[in-house]
């Protein structure tokens, strides 16, 4: 019953097109678990996925603990800029 | 001062520690620690390549291994394992499974036991 409920939630969220940005990075993060357990160097290949996951987490933390709106939006945009920079660096060093 | 329109709660030390709040706070702290650990190597590489001096921090770190803490890898992998297993619990909570106080306490105990057992099998045995 739970499996059907999970599948229902997942496919409904993908079909609605607004919630896939909530579910997909979390499901991608499950791909990193065997990479951590068996070969930790392969995590550098999946760096953009990790950074997408980290941007979600950091933005949630900032939204919870910073209550002044202008500073909050400044921090959120700065985090997105930092993650774009880090993904570009990762692409550069993988080439 | 600032226009914050919300009641101010007393300080954190007043409350009793609950398992649910403690585990979520450590989830956040471990996430930030892992972010600094994962975001720093490309920045160090950038420092090593795009600089006018011949300043090579990776070489410095690898040759002088006494600068790095002993058992550093063990501490990092405890943080990673905690975050991974707690993330699986968050998956279960998002797809409404095990959202009772009893099962939350039971799951947190099994989480700590799993982290301890995996570290035991990976490093000590």
pLDDT digits (tens, 9 = 90+) for B32-64: 998 998 888 888 778 777 777 666 666 766 676
Q: Is A75 annotated as a binding residue?
A: no
Please provide the DSSP assignment of A15-55 as one string.
HHSSSHHHHHHHHHHTTHHHHHHH-GGGGGTTHHHHHHHHH
Among chain B, residues having any CB pair with chain A shorter than 8 Å are: 2, 4, 6, 28, 31-32, 34-35, 38-39, 41-43, 45-46, 77, 80, 84, 87-88, 90-91, 94-97
| Cβ distance of A58 and B91 shorter than 8 Å | no
| Cβ distance of A54 and B31 shorter than 8 Å | yes
Please report whether residue B116 resides in a domain.
yes
Indicate the DSSP class of residue B83.
Answer: H
**How many domains is chain A built from?**
1
CA B105, B107, B109, B111 torsion-angle sign: negative
Mean pLDDT of chain A: 81
pLDDT in tens, B65-98: 666 666 777 888 899 889 999 998 988 888 777 8
Rounded CA separation A63/A72 (Å): 7
Rounded CA separation B109/B115 (Å): 10
CA-based nearest distance A55→chain B, Å: 9
| Cβ distance of A36 and B80 shorter than 8 Å | yes
Nearest CA in chain A to B90: A26
Please report whether residue B55 resides in a domain.
yes
Residue A44 touches chain B, beta carbons under 8 Å:
yes
Please report whether residue B37 resides in a domain.
no
For residues A55-61, give the mean pLDDT: 89
A9 CB neighbour count, 10 Å cutoff: 15
Please report whether residue B3 resides in a domain.
no
Please report whether residue B117 resides in a domain.
yes
Residue B84 sits in which domain range? 42-124
Please report whether residue B104 resides in a domain.
yes
Check: CB of residue A39 under 8 Å from CB of residue A45.
Answer: no
Q: Which of B76, B125, B40 has its CA nearest to residue A82?
A: B40
On the question of pLDDT at A67 being above 70, the answer is yes
3-class SS shares of chain A: helix, strand, coil, % to 5: 85, 0, 15
Q: Which of A18, A90, A4 has its CA nearest to residue A54?
A: A90
**How many domains is chain B built from?**
1
Cβ pairs A/B, distance under 8 A: 58
Rounded CA separation B73/A27 (Å): 26
Residue A48 sits in which domain range? 2-94
pLDDT in tens, A16-42: 656 666 777 777 788 888 877 777 777
Residue A2 touches chain B, beta carbons under 8 Å:
yes
Interface ipTM: 0.75
3-state SS, B46-67, equals: HHHHCCCCCCCHHHHHHHCCCC
Check: CB of residue B96 under 8 Å from CB of residue A5.
Answer: yes
Rounded CA separation B46/B44 (Å): 5
Q: What percent of chain A has pLDDT over 70?
A: 79
Structure tokens that stand for A3 in this block:
């499996």
B14 CB neighbour count, 10 Å cutoff: 7
| Cβ distance of B35 and A26 shorter than 8 Å | no
């Amino acid at each position: 019953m739970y499996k059907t409920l999970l599948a229902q939630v997942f496919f409904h969220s993908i079909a609605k097109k607004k919630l896939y940005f909530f579910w997909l990075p979390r499901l991608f993060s499950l791909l990193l678990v065997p990479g951590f357990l068996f070969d930790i160097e392969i995590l550098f290949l999946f760096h953009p996925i990790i950074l997408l996951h980290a941007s979600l987490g950091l933005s949630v933390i900032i939204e919870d603990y910073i209550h002044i709106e202008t500073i909050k939006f400044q921090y959120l945009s700065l985090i997105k800029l930092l993650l774009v920079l880090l993904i570009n660096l990762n692409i550069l060093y993988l080439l | 001062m600032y226009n914050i329109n919300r009641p101010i709660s007393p300080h954190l030390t007043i409350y009793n520690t609950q398992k649910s709040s403690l585990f979520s706070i450590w989830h956040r702290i471990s996430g930030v620690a892992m972010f600094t650990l994962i975001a720093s190597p490309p920045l160090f590489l950038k420092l090593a390549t795009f600089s006018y001096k011949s300043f090579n921090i990776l070489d410095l770190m690898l040759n002088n291994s006494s600068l790095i803490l002993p058992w550093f890898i063990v501490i990092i992998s405890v943080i990673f394992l905690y975050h991974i297993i707690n993330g699986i619990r968050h998956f279960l909570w998002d797809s409404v499974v095990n959202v009772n106080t009893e099962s939350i306490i039971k799951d947190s105990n099994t989480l700590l036991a799993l982290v301890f057992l995996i570290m035991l099998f990976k490093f000590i045995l």
